[in-house]
Amino acid sequence: MANTETALKEAMAMIEGAVGVALVDYTSGMALGTIGGGKHLDLNVAAAGNTDVVRAKLRAMEMLGLQDEIEDILITLGGQYHLIRLLKARGGNGLFLYLALDNKRANLAMARHQLRKIEAELEV
């Protein structure tokens, strides 16, 4: 089992093209941990903004009567992929992993695979 800091460090080290990663509480919009980012990617601002994305998608699913769960939300930008993975395992309710990737260096399928693996090992 990995704690938050270990899991985020693992994401940055193991996922090719990772620019930044955060564990976010979408009930409050607060980042519980961040690694990476930089002057062009403030992960605390990204955490709050992507909380709105998650909440909007959950509302839309409710209005549509969809009886399913969100695995990932993918946002593609000109130079980056932003991946949001809602946590399901061990106390992860209300949390998501947010990963920003450089799309020129990243393999999206492998990033999703690695993020699932990190989620499975994360102890919240």
Predicted model pTM: 0.93
Which domain, by its residues, includes 81? 4-121
| Residue whose structure tokens are 């903004």 | 49
Question: What pairs with residue 33 in β-bridges?
Answer: 23
Number of domains composing the chain: 1
At residue 91 the predicted structure's pLDDT band, cuts being 50, 70 and 90, is: low
DSSP of 22-73: EEEETTTTEEEEEEE-BTTB-HHHHHHHHHHHHHHHHHHHHHHT------EE
Residue pLDDT, tens place only, 50-84: 999 999 999 999 999 999 999 999 999 999 999 99
Whichever domain contains 77, its CATH number is: 3.30.450.30
